[in-house]
Amino acid sequence: PNGPGRFYVGHTLGIEWIATDNDAVDSVSIWLSVNAGADYTRLFSNEPNDSLCEWVIPMMDADSCVIKIVAWDPALNSGEDISESYFSIKDQTAVGDDEEEEDETPIYATGLEQNYPNPFNGVTNIAYTLAEAGIVDLRIYDTAGRLIRTLETGTSRVSGRHVTAWNGRDNSGRAVTSGVYFAKISTGKFRQTRKMVYLR
């Protein structure tokens, strides 16, 4: 979980991550904080770097939860990433019918995520989230502002998270040169840009 949302006791929560350098990562540990990062409890240790771990949520009631992923290399050097905003965990049997029904619809915030991997060679994934259904344009530009690749144009998308891949080629199918590129999304009045680095 990387943003606002509510999860329930007894449900299985899929914890996902992307290591920027998969070859160097030897193992991963996963930690939970229920008090906005003031302290953490370890959920898993020595997990393989397979980008997914399933956790059955135990009994608790908390509104300021974050997940921390710590990646280790064979030399015991580490890097970490933390949920970008808080999520809550509730006992579903303790919420009223109206609240439970309301929470069945996920709440999304429109935004363009950082591509992964980054820097990249070959293919990178560009994910974005829509708060509501809309028309999406997603394009790649170089540092001079020239259009390099149109990934989506006039694409109708439902609310939720979507992922598009870019293979480092322009609209003519030619491989681009190494350097900095920008992914730009527009949907309705929303605009956002992310910087990417391509290495050949």
pLDDT tens digit sequence for 13-71:
778 777 666 667 888 899 999 988 888 999 998 888 766 777 888 888 888 888 899 98
Where residue 89 sits, what CATH number does that domain have? Answer: 2.60.40.10
pLDDT tens digit sequence for 152-181:
999 998 888 888 899 999 999 999 999 999
38, 98: one domain: yes
Q: What backbone phi and psi angles, to 5 degrees, belong to 24?
A: -90, -10
Q: What is the pLDDT of residue 149?
A: 96
HEC readout, 172-200? CCCECCCEEEEEEEEECCEEEEEEEEECC
Report yes or no on 28 lying in a domain.
Answer: yes
- Name the DSSP letter for residue 98: H
Residue at which a domain ends, from 103, 119, 145: 103
93, 149: one domain: no
Domain tally, the chain? 2
Q: Which domain holds residue 185?
A: 111-198
**DSSP reduced 3-state for 73:** coil
Using alpha carbons only, what angle is made at residue 145 by residues 138 and 173, rounded to the nearest 5 degrees?
A: 60
26, 86: one domain: yes
Name, in order, each residue with C-beta under 8 angstroms of 146's C-beta and a sequence gap of 6 or more: none
Report yes or no on 79 lying in a domain.
Answer: yes
39, 96: one domain: yes
Q: Which pLDDT band, with edges at 50, 70 and 90, does 96 fall under?
A: low
